[in-house]
Amino acid sequence: MKSGSSFLLAARRCEIAELEQLAHTAELVGVTARFVHALQRERGICNVYLSSHGARFADLRAQQMAECEQVEGQVREHFERLDTEAHRMRNGSRLFSRVAVVLHGLDGLPELRARIAEQALGPRESTAAFVKLVAGLLAVVFEAADSATDPEVTRALVALFNFMQGKEFAGQERAHGAGVFASGASDAAGQQQWRHLVDSQQGCFQVFTEFADPETLRARDASTEPEVLAQLERLRRIGCSPHGAPLDPDLSQGWYEVCTRRIDAMRTVEDLQALRLRHLCERRIVQARAELRDQRAMLEALAAQARESGTKAPAALGPLLERSVLAMLQEQSRRLQAMGDELDAVRTALKERKVVERAKGLLMAHRNLREDEAYKALRQMAMNQNRRLVDVAEAVLSLADVLPGGR
């Protein structure tokens, strides 16, 4: 029969097993970040290629597709590895469901590319397809953050997820702005969407700032070039000028380049975060293993002392030894409780997105909308009412009971 001490050690072994699983997840997240970046570039290049009716970026596109395919292979390999340990995955069902959506999207990529090559679709349609794929990959990172059980690792994952999401909004802003400048005119609807993309970025980077570690924040600050930012703000101001003056289409190129410099700088920060995340997991595993060793040694020493003093039953260990074991038990309970509390606190940062996802699901079910349409409807409501997306989402959810056919 196992003793209390052996369960004390088993609890620690569970923690280690969870950390090891997290380490795999961290690797997957790192590769996913690289793939998202590659797809963002391909999206931008396709945009120019299609807008110029194939006149520009044909070579660059071929080059970028090759890079995408290479990273896609790595992502698929990591997915493959996930599957082999399917049954022990924490939150496995939700993560796998997200992976299924991504793989379905990836399977459609060759056809999408063929249609782009033939210019059988417009830049808007092409962009939408890439946006959807990237959203699927971000959902995988989100589930990884939501299922991690170590508060420090969760914190790092929440920071990284928000950074990636902010960078994606920055990428969408690049495409949107390029389109507006190229068209030579800026209308109210376009400006509203532009502001929405800027606000969304800010929201994400705010959460990132709250959860990132100091070194990552310093790296982010160091990577930010003041002249790039100044240029970005100047072009945003011109593009969003309410006076309705015609825009110089030549600004499109400059806008694209300044955005790209900014996004590429973000990529280095993202890479650093992924690296630090892996190191963090490794460090936590080493630490937990050392603690397990210490605990085991201490329990063995206590048992030896008990044997020497001629007793056997743990209950007869004597008050001093008894207290040592009890103190270890209490310390462990307290530590796990504190970890659980901290985890709850960090996870609330993920709540906003969940609320938006739920509201989207509600609209899809009730109005029979597609996912992108539901999101657009929410965003439109938020822009019209000048409220935050999450507030509108909450308002929608509060109406759930009065909507026809609600659950």
Which residues in this chain contact its own copies in the complex, by CB under 8 A? Answer: 1-8, 10-15, 17-18, 76, 79-80, 83, 86-90, 92-104, 106-111, 313-316, 322, 325-326, 329-330, 332-334, 336-338, 340-341, 354, 357-358, 361, 364-365, 371, 407
Instruction: Name the minimum Å distance from CB 339 to its own copies.
Output: 9
Instruction: Name the minimum Å distance from CB 85 to its own copies.
Output: 10
Minimum CB distance to its own copies smaller for 92 or for 203: 92
Report whether 119 contacts 50 (CB < 8 A): yes
Task: Please tell me what DSSP assigns to residue 85.
Answer: T
Tokens encoding 71: 């990273």
Q: Coil, helix or strand for 148? A: coil
Instruction: Name the minimum Å distance from CB 72 to its own copies.
Output: 10
Minimum CB distance to its own copies smaller for 42 or for 173: 42
Minimum CB distance to its own copies smaller for 107 or for 118: 107
Tokens encoding 12: 């620690």
Q: Distance between CA atoms of 314 and 303, rounded to whole angstroms?
A: 8
Instruction: Name the minimum Å distance from CB 91 to its own copies.
Output: 8
Rg from Cα positions in the chain: 26
Q: Distance between CA atoms of 15 and 133, rounded to whole angstroms?
A: 34
Instruction: Name the minimum Å distance from CB 290 to its own copies.
Output: 16
Tokens encoding 167: 């960078």
Instruction: Name the minimum Å distance from CB 79 to its own copies.
Output: 7
Tokens encoding 138: 């971000």
Q: Distance between CA atoms of 339 and 351, rounded to whole angstroms?
A: 19
Minimum CB distance to its own copies smaller for 198 or for 292: 292
What is the phi/psi pair of residue 255, to 5°?
A: -60, -50
Minimum CB distance to its own copies smaller for 86 or for 222: 86
Place of tokens 């962009």: 127
Minimum CB distance to its own copies smaller for 218 or for 334: 334
